[in-house]
Amino acid sequence: MTRKQSGLGRAELIWTAAILTIVVVLIVNTLRSEVARAKERMCLDSLAYLSAQIHIGLEQLELYQAEQLSEYYHGSGNHLSLNGVGAVNDLSEVLLDDIQIPQDPWGNAFVLHKVKQGKNTEFWLISGGENGLYPAQPFTPASLAKRVYLPFVSTNN
């Protein structure tokens, strides 16, 4: 008479553990890449929010000319390494009082940078990204940077 087997044998347990391990590794790798993409998306959303708030703040403070603004403004968080930079102002100086300044998802400060290119002056809001390094110029949206436009002043009275 044969005895009825109950439960799993050793070989079956080993195969089950191996398959579960492979599934867990695949899930963890997928989650890591999704978390990295989510942080980048959150950073881009914060850049869009802050650039709009800076534009509104500049309009309310009647700062219409590039000459009225300093070269750098820092938000809260870990400051980016800005080589050879003198004074850095607080980003709250160009925002309305009730605006909260977020950090980027990696805990770094956002920086508003005045960039002179020939006769033109542009303003860029930048993030150091995961490594916290100042992105190379010219800035692009791919470098976790967003251009900030000065308010338009109508000359018609």
pLDDT digits (tens, 9 = 90+) for 112-146: 998 888 888 889 999 888 888 877 777 775 788 99
Residue 26's pLDDT band (boundaries 50, 70, 90)? Answer: very high
Residue 6's pLDDT band (boundaries 50, 70, 90)? Answer: confident
pLDDT at 38: 94
Q: Which tops the pLDDT comparison, 152 or 1?
A: 152
Average pLDDT over residues 5-33: 90
Average pLDDT for the chain: 85
Q: Which residues fall within 8 angstroms of residue 87, CB to CB, at 6 or more apart?
A: 70, 72
pLDDT at 134: 78
147: phi then psi, degrees, rounded to nearest 5: -75, 140
Average pLDDT over residues 15-21: 95
What topology does CATH give the domain 10-148? Glycoprotein, Type 4 Pilin (3.30.700)
Q: Which tops the pLDDT comparison, 145 or 155?
A: 145
Residue 103, pLDDT above cutoff 80? yes
Q: How far is CA 154 from the centre of its chain?
A: 33
Prediction pTM value: 0.77
